[in-house]
């Protein structure tokens, strides 16, 4: 990323290992999955009736990550079935595949239309305008949702962010799945478990301000405006919603291999625009995002382009930079800017497409 062979080798290793590192930490205890504001996990429920292998792909010869014991209950993701296998997920891991003949269906996943209709019922604005939206948005006080919204809204005055790599994000994701899982909102005690996670860049965790450099994910949707999120009081329009951006390690990488970074509407620099971000995506320009880390626990990992999850953001990790406090564009045509050299970068507000 900074032009050094050692760093490029590290990122290359990371790119090919992301799926396997994450899958190795699967836990198989089921828990309630929560729907987000506009990206809805749809799950049914199955119970294992014969001890069976959890596999990377819907094939009998695919890599088996673990053996799932009898009577284990797992979520059946979107009712996905392929080649005689069901796609399933437990609380502490991304999805894998089990043989359909080894499970009993307890409940099928509701339709996407049904889930969206249910979500829409609770998406009425709770403030007239953004300036009147509290830091917890539409969440009820003293709830896990209120805590998540408040963390999303926080800023930081740290002048010395920690430079992290995509390999660091893989390590953080693996440990986070082990400690708190996914698909549910986190209590204060659970979020406390995410404050110090070991990586090659030192201990990292929620709230730590970081630099991460990469390329805006190549596929659709590109950088876009979120819609009607609780954190922004379910208000509509680009002026009242986050900018959702996916950053991956290499030019042309799919968003399935990327991480999410978010620009919030509160005090957003007018020079930070979707038009500029889309231009950077198409031109495959190296960018640098700065801001505190946030663990988006209430979604599901969506990193398999062969079997994408509807409504879930494409990404290999729940870790985000949210909210972005600085966004920079590499000045060099060869994209060999060093993240530690601010002179190599132009702030997005000063960038002219």
pLDDT confidence band for 13 (50 / 70 / 90): very low
For residue 89, what pLDDT is reported? Answer: 87
Among candidate residues 89, 118, 147, the one where a domain is terminated = 118
Separation of alpha carbons 175 and 22, rounded Å? 9
Average pLDDT of span 74-78: 91
In a domain, 35, yes or no: yes
The CATH number of the domain holding residue 114 is 2.30.30.40
Question: 79 and 218: one domain?
Answer: no
163 vs 4, which has greater pLDDT? Answer: 163
Confidence of residue 39 (pLDDT cuts 50, 70, 90): low
* Total count of domains within the chain: 2
Q: Does residue 106 share a domain with residue 129?
A: no
Q: Are residues 188 and 74 in the same domain?
A: no
94 in any annotated domain: yes
Which segment of 194-208, 263-277, 296-310 scores lowest on mean pLDDT? Answer: 296-310
Residue 86's contacts (CB-CB under 8 Å, 6 or more residues apart) are 46, 76, 80, 97, 98, 99, 100, 103
Query: Are 167 and 295 part of one and the same domain?
Result: yes
In this structure, is residue 259 part of a structural domain? yes
Report the C-alpha gap between 33 and 260 in whole angstroms. Answer: 21
Cα dihedral: 103, 118, 261, 178 (round 10): -30
Residue 14 domain-assigned? Answer: no
* pLDDT value of residue 3: 42
Q: Is residue 239 part of a domain?
A: yes
Q: If pLDDT is split at 50, 70 and 90, which confidence band does 310 have? A: confident
Q: Which residues form the domain of 57?
A: 24-118
- Whether residue 80 is found in the same domain as residue 164: no
Q: Is 146 part of any domain?
A: yes
* pLDDT level of residue 94 (50, 70, 90 thresholds): low
Tokens of 319: 């870790």
- Predicted local confidence at residue 1, as pLDDT: 40
| Residue 273 scores a pLDDT above 60 | yes
User: Would you say residue 4 has pLDDT above 50?
Assistant: no
Residue 53 lies in a domain: yes
Q: How high is the pLDDT of residue 92?
A: 72
Looking at 81, 102, 118, the residue that finishes a domain is 118
**Within 13 Å and on the Cβ side, how many CA atoms surround 258?**
27
Domain identity same for 138 and 207: yes
**Are residues 36 and 145 both part of a single domain?**
no
Based on its alpha-carbon atoms, the radius of gyration of the chain, rounded to whole angstroms, reads: 20
Residue 98 pLDDT = 97
Q: Pairing state of beta strands 197-199 and 202-204? A: antiparallel
Contact 319, 166 (CB under 8 A): no
pLDDT at 252 over 50: yes
Tell whether 305 and 259 lie within a shared domain. yes
Statement to judge: residues 97 and 221 lie in one domain: no
Mean pLDDT of 314-318: 94
User: Looking at residue 116, what is its pLDDT?
Assistant: 72
Residues 129 and 114 placed together within one structural domain of the fold: no
Q: What is the CATH number of the domain that holds 165?
A: 2.40.50.140
Q: Is residue 69 part of a domain?
A: yes
Give residue 181's pLDDT.
Answer: 87
Q: What is the mean pLDDT of residues 127-150?
A: 96
Range name among 87-96, 219-228, 240-249 with the lowest pLDDT average: 87-96
Q: What is the mean pLDDT of residues 269-286?
A: 98
Residue 79 shares a structural domain with residue 163: no
Average pLDDT of the residues in 70-78: 92
Which of 118, 141, 164 is where one domain is finished? 118
In a shared domain, residues 109 and 256? no
Mean pLDDT across the stretch 244-255? Answer: 97
């Amino acid at each position: 990323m900074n032009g050094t062979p050692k760093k490029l080798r590290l990122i290359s290793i990371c790119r090919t290992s992301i799926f396997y590192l994450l899958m190795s930490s699967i836990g198989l205890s089921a828990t309630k999955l929560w729907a987000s504001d506009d990206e809805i996990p749809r799950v049914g429920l199955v119970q294992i009736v014969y001890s069976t292998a959890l596999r990377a792909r819907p094939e009998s010869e695919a890599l088996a990550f673990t053996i799932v014991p009898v009577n284990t209950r797992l979520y059946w993701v979107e009712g996905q079935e392929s080649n005689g296998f069901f796609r399933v997920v437990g609380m502490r891991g991304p999805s894998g595949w089990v043989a359909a003949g080894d499970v009993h269906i307890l409940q099928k996943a509701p339709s996407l239309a049904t889930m969206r209709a249910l979500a829409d019922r609770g998406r009425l604005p709770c403030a007239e305008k953004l300036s009147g939206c509290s830091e917890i948005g539409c969440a009820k006080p003293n709830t896990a949702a209120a805590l998540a919204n408040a963390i999303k809204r926080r800023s930081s005055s740290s002048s010395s962010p920690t430079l992290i790599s995509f390999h660091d994000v893989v390590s953080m994701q693996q440990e986070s799945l082990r400690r708190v899982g996914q698909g549910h909102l986190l209590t204060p005690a659970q979020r406390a478990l995410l404050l110090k996670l070991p990586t090659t860049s030192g201990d990292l965790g929620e709230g730590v301000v970081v630099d991460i450099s990469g390329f805006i994910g190549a596929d659709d949707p590109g950088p876009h405006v979120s819609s009607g999120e609780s954190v922004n009081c379910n208000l509509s329009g680009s002026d009242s919603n986050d900018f959702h951006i996916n950053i991956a390690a290499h030019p042309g990488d799919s968003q399935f291999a990327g991480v999410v970074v978010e620009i919030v509407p509160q005090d957003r620099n007018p020079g930070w625009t979707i038009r500029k971000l889309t231009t950077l995506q198409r031109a495959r320009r190296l960018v640098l995002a700065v801001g505190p880390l946030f663990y988006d626990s209430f979604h599901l990992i969506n990193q398999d382009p062969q079997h994408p999850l509807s409504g879930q953001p494409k990404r290999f990790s729940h870790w985000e930079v949210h909210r972005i406090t600085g966004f920079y564009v590499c000045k060099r045509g060869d994209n060999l800017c060093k993240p530690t050299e601010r002179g190599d970068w132009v702030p997005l507000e000063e960038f002219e497409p």
